[in-house]
Every structure is written in C-alpha cells, then in structure tokens.
Chain A
Amino acid sequence: MIGQPRMVVTGLGVVDANAWGASEAADSFAHPDPRPIAVDRSSGYHRKNGSSQALLVDTTPQSNWLSPLAARRMSAVSRFAVCAAKMAIKDAGLDPGAIGSETAVVVSTAYGAANISEQILRQSFLDGPTALSPALFTESVASAPAAQIALNCGARGANVTVTQSQAGPAVALVQSLNELRTGRSERVLIAAADEMTPLMHAILDRFLALARPDDHGAERARPFDRDRTGWLAAEGATVAVLELESTARDRGAPILAEVMAAGNAFDPWSPRSGWSRNPGTLARSLSRFLRENDRTPADIDILVSGACGHRGADRLDGGLLTTIWQGAVLPPVLAPAAVSGAHGGSLLAGSILAASGKDFGPTPGFENADPELGVVPHDGRKLPSPDCVLLTTCAAGGAAGWALFGQGDRCN
C-alpha cells in the first residue's frame, strides 16, 4: 500500500522433487520436466485404477543441510522446512548464528506431519494406546515444521503456523507482512511446507483430486487444459527471507523481489470440499484488493496461478482471472503446479522466481485450451521484465489468497 514501508525477499530456499536450492528450482521452471514417481501403494489404501504417482523429494542431498542426528527426530515435512530455511538464510547472506528474537517464523502447511499422525493412529488402533511413542507425538502437531525451523535456526520471534489449504501461502504472506509492517519483527522466515504420504495420496485420489493415468500410464497436471483430470500430488518446502527494504539495504543484501501486498478472502457459497462454480464473490474481493493497492489488471505483467489441473479448481482459478480482466488479453499465466506439483512451496517459489525475472518454460502437460475457461497458460516465450506479478490461489472449501510482487532490481 502507498506510504507503507517496502518489504523484500532477500533469500530463497527450495526443496522439492526437482530441486535442492533456489537455482535448481529456477532451472526446473525454465526447463520444465516433471518426473513423478510411483507412490507406495502396498498398504492397500488406494482405489484400483486410480492415480499412482507423485512428485516426491529425493532426500539424498539432505545431509548437506541437516545432520542425521537432528534429522532422526523430525518428520519429513520438518526436514524439508529446516533444510529450505537454512538455504534461505545462507542465500540472504545472514549470519546463521545471529537470527535471534527479531526473526519470526510463519509457515503454511495443508497437512502437517501426515506420516507421523498416521503412525500414531496405527499404533493406537492396532497395538493399543499405551504403545504410542512420545517422540512421534511431539512431531505430529501441524506447527512442528515452524518449531523445528525456530529451534534449528535460533528464530525467537513470533512462530505462527497457518493452515488454509491451497490459500495457505498467500495467508502466510499476509501474516508475514503484518509482522514486518508493525515492527514486531525485523525479518520473517516465511515457509510453505508439506509432505506427501501414501495415505494422503490415497485420500486425495479417493476424492478424485489427482491426475489419472493417461493411455500411456503417464500422470500429468495439465493446468487449464481441456482434458485435465486432476493435480499431481507433491511435497517439498520453500522458505523465503522477508525483510524491510531499509534493513536489507543497510546490510547490503541482494534483493530478489519485493512483496508489495497480500490479501485473502472467502467464498461462503463454496462447497465444503470443492470449488465454487461462480467466481463472482472472489472476483469482487480480488478487484477490491487491486484497487486498494492502486493497481489495475493492466498493471499486471505476469500472473502466477494456483491452477493445478483439477477440473473444478482450474475452473474457478480461470474464471477469477477472466472475470477480473473482463475480456482483455491476460498477461502470461504461470502455473507452477504443472512443474513441481500441487504444494504450497511450488506456488511460493514460482511467484518469487517470476518476480525476480527468471525464465519460465512452456507449461508442461498443456495441449488444448478449455473453451469454458479461455485461459492459455504460459507457452515458454520470453517473459516481460515484471514490474508487477500477481499471485492468485483458490482453495477447496472457499478460501482464496493473492499477493503482489515487484522485481527486486527496482529496489537496488
């Protein structure tokens, strides 16, 4: 907003199926080649002929960031988050030993430590509740990744875990900007982190949320495509260091992007576990957000959409954009979920990298425009140097969020 202090991203850490680090993540968006792998279906949770693949993290590089001793006490999602946080701190040029009480941690997660929660329930139901491991329980809370980041990085500021499904990263941005704007924190480690377990995969598949295998057995996300069948389940974590521009300048930090504003809203007419067919309510909220931040659709150079390949989700995401643009040509529409799968970290990393001027390749899986949507995602052409990137994401159940990013160079 006008008159507000400017807030910038000075460091980025990414852990996902394509990348261990921000530069690898940027490469994966520039040259997209998502390679989902088989999910363990041996527990028998899955339905027959359903989805069987996901974009899962190869944990081999983990020991570069986390000792086996520390890692053994953590869930997968906490390990991803802590590794990404350490990367972001290093990327920001911060002294890891001097994080302290001025640093808040704000984490968005949809499912938390799903594997640990399942282990606890399994022990409880099959072996009896007295068989439960106390070590497991402490990691089962949704806030464990945020707590582990704080513990491992020494962040003693506010520690907040936001759980707002697909809208979580945008809501975490709202919380983070408030921390900085009010002077409560000097910097924020903002994260989006999730793990994908066989049980979560099976549940999503039972809800018909996931991409189904095509004739060749391939599962692709295909955002905005006419023949999309669902999203690619995925896991990973993205952590960004957010600071006031003045603080970053004072210490001569590299500035990757500016976070100009973030907002969120709700559509109470949305089905509880699905997406509304009518984008009107959210479009009015997004219009208001743009107006309050002195932006019009014409000011947006790049769109980063939460579109993931789900029929209902993309219908709402697409409808939101076409309603706002009112028939005008959309700016390039990026759909990070097509590259690194549907998880919050993908959206957060994609937005920051887009704002920092990175190249994005053609949207994998997209072949034919859906005439109902009228949205054609990015085809790989050279992107404009962005003054303003708009992130939009709509969650199942009615929540939605958005954020405006500016290019980092402008701040230097």
Chain B
Amino acid sequence: MKPDCRIVVTGIGAVSAYGWGVDSLRDGLMSGSTAIGVPTVFDTSEHRTHLAGEVPPVPQPLRSSIRGWDALSRADQFAVAAADEAIRESGLEIRGAPCGVFFGGSTAGMLECEEWYSRLIGARPGRPRLRLLASQQLNGPGDAVARHQRVTGPVQSVSSACASAGLAVGAAVEAIRNRSVDIALAGGSDSLCQLTYGGFNSLRSVDAEPCRPFKLDRAGLSLGEGAGVLVLESLDHAHNRRARPLAEVLGYGASCDAHHMTAPHPQGDGILRASEIALADAGLRPDEVTFINSHGTGTTHNDPAECRAYQRLFDSHLAMIPVTATKASIGHVLGAAGALEAVATVLAFRDSVIHPSPGEQPGDAELGIDLVVGSARRLEGRPVALSTNLAFGGANVAIVMQSWAGSGS
C-alpha cells in the first residue's frame, strides 16, 4: 500500500573531504578529481596504506558561529555543521517545531576515545582527561544536533555500520508518515579513526591508491569522513510554509543477508530484496529508475555482488541506467555514507547532472553497469534515483528519491 503522506527534502547540508558545505561537495564531485589524499588527523606511517578522504580544517567563521565548538568531538562537529547548513537552506525555524533527529554513524567520538585510551595505557604522553570521552557514545552526533537545534522530539541514533545513515533516513520517513513529527533532520556523521583505519587494513580491504569502484583494476576501498544531513518534511508542511522542495523521498527498504559477517551475499540477495521493497514502497517499477547512486566501495566482494543484484533487479534496463559511485570521490564515510550519497543524489536532481567517478578508465565490462566516468552526465525529465548501502553483518538499505524540479506538484 502506497503511503498517503508524501515526503520532500527541503534542505541539505554536507561536510566532506572536499570541504565544509554543499557547494564544496558539488564543485568537488563535478570536478572529476578525487579528494582522497594523505590524511593528517593521525599518523598512518605504520599502517599498510596511507590514504583517506580527510575533511580539511574548518573555516574560522564557521567555527566561531557554532557555540561550544571546541567541546564537540570531530564527528559531532561535522554533524552540527551539516545540520546547520541544511536547516538554513530549508528556511525552517526548528526550535519549538515538531521535529525529530534521525542520525547514523559507526564510530562517533572514537577518535577522541583513542586519544584518551592511548594516554591511559601510556602509549602517548598526557593525562587521560574525561572530557575526551564526553561524545564517546554512538549517539553523540545525533544528540549534538538535537541539542544544538533545540529539538524536543524523537532522537534516534542508528549504528548499523555502513547502512546506518540510510536506515536513519528510513526511520525519519516512517516518523513523518506516522505523524510522529512534521520535520526530520536525517543524516549521518563519522570521523576517521585508527580503529576503522587499522581494522579495514587488517582485512586487506583498503586500496593503496584512491579507490576505483566498479573499475577493472579496483583493489579495495578508501576510507573517508564527513557528514550529510537532509531536512525532510511532509509535502503539506512544506507547502504550508511555501518552502521549495529539492526532491521527494518515495520509498525505502531494508534487509539482511544473514550470510556472512563481512562479505555480502555473492548473488546480491539482500540488497536486491531491500531495493525491491524500496521500489514497492515508492510504487514504482524497476524500469522507472533513471539512475543509481551505488554503494560502490571498490572491494573484491562488494562490487560484483552489488552489480549482480542490479542485473537481477533491472534485467536489460540496467544498460540504460547511469551508475555513480560517490566513494571514489570522497572515500567511504562508513556510517555517514548513505547520508552524503543522498545529498549527492539531491544535488544531481537540483543541477540535472550526475557527477562522474574520477579517472578516465571505464567501468569493468563484466559488471554490466553504465558507470559514469570522465565527465558529468545530463539528467533529463524528472529523474528517479535508487541509492543503496550494504554493511558489515549483511544489513542493506535502499532509498528511492525523485527530483522535484519541473514536476508541477
């Protein structure tokens, strides 16, 4: 049954390896060059690889504009800044409004926790001060956004590895549909930390070069950091306040492979099921999808499994669907990936172009997808996008969104 409550995106915010703000993300993605480089947030010299998509230093005016900035963890800072931007764009006044926060993340204040722990065990000099642990819990970024925006409605933090932010968007959609809230700040935030950097390297899942999802010479992922936030509201609410929607969220779906802790089901069973549920929720057929913002990590296991799912879902129509892989540009932002990829999708709608994957090399022909490389691709009409995320432990999520421009709705 198609829900009777339509949900629109009226604001977006982003912090990524390209910089602070949506404009930096848009310009970076459209440039076709990767933001993945040598990180400075910690020393990688003893690690197996030495690259990541690190967020550049915060501009001083932004830092000064957010109260209590220095007390926030790095992941909290990303979250608060991205939420601020998204709300500003939406034109909303959150305080006192029936608003909720739905936020995904996988490590929260782990970077600061590492500093504390290394001092505790004497691996680094200095006192292990408790303030370093103040945002250690995984609900830190979502709570920080709620506190900063004076939200009194529901706050839900999701930590389902790389599916976290996508699942948070799903929870936000459900909360609006069932009238728990009129407005939802949905997103995710994660910062680089040694636990994930060392962990993915121990799995030998990290490419020594910037990652190249879906390309023939792909050799693993690149880690990244950042935050993405969407302001979601019911269409009625947006209309009543004369807001201009950027996109519509048509549906979402979730599933679990129940197959392996780190490897996806080789035939893409789980992500296929999540995508089918999302399309059914949206009331659309697969052949109505006009582009895919893929999970696209660049690992040996992920890319073939994901493409197998697309082949099964779209059959011959797959050849006509451009596929983009945002992680090639900004790295894998883990728990925030779904949020930043959703922001990138909204940007594609807004500007009627799909950003390219960095590098001229075409996609691996065996995968059977039309990877956008080299230069941006025009989007015609009122495109529909499928955005997917697959996670450790087999959790999958898919979101279906549609451009708003020109709809006459």
Contact = CB atoms under 8 A, between A and B. Distances in A.
Given A158-B254, A164-B157, A137 B199 contact: yes
Interface residues of A, number: 77
Contacts of A206: 130
B152 A285 contact: yes
B155 to A, nearest CB: 4
Contacts of B255: 101, 156-159
A159 B194 contact: no
A281 B95 CA distance: 13
A96 interface: no
A380 interface: no
Given A151-B261, A268-B150, A134 B203 contact: yes
Nearest to A4: B178
B318 to A, nearest CB: 23
Given A120-B195, A132-B201, A184-B277, A163 B258 contact: no
B92 to A, nearest CB: 16
Given A133-B202, A139-B261, A156-B270, A268 B147 contact: yes
Contact of B160 (A122, A160, A184, A273): A160
Interface in B137-160: 137-139, 143, 146-160
Interface stretch (A14-22, A123-131, A241-249, A297-305): A123-131
Contacts of B256: 105, 147, 150, 155-159
B270 to A, nearest CB: 7
- Interface size bracket, B side: 35 or more
Given A121-B194, A143-B161, A159 B180 contact: no
B273 interface: yes
B258 to A, nearest CB: 4
Given A143-B159, A178-B178, A160 B167 contact: yes
Contacts, number: 232
B38 interface: no
Given A120-B198, A156-B257, A268-B146, A161 B137 contact: no
Interface of B: 1, 46-48, 71, 101, 106, 110, 114, 117-118, 120-121, 123-124, 130, 133-135, 137-139, 143, 146-161, 163, 167, 171, 174, 177-178, 180, 194-195, 197-204, 254-262, 269-270, 273, 277, 391-395
Interface of A: 45, 73, 101, 104-105, 110-112, 117-118, 120-122, 124-126, 128-130, 132-134, 136-144, 146-148, 150-151, 153-165, 171, 174-175, 178, 181-184, 199, 203, 206-207, 263-268, 270, 272-273, 281, 284-285, 395, 397-399
29 contacts: A101-B255, A112-B138, A129-B46, A134-B199, A142-B138, A142-B161, A146-B393, A147-B261, A148-B261, A150-B256, A151-B261, A151-B393, A156-B256, A156-B273, A158-B167, A160-B160, A160-B254, A162-B157, A164-B139, A164-B156, A165-B137, A165-B139, A171-B154, A174-B156, A265-B155, A266-B152, A266-B154, A285-B153, A399-B139
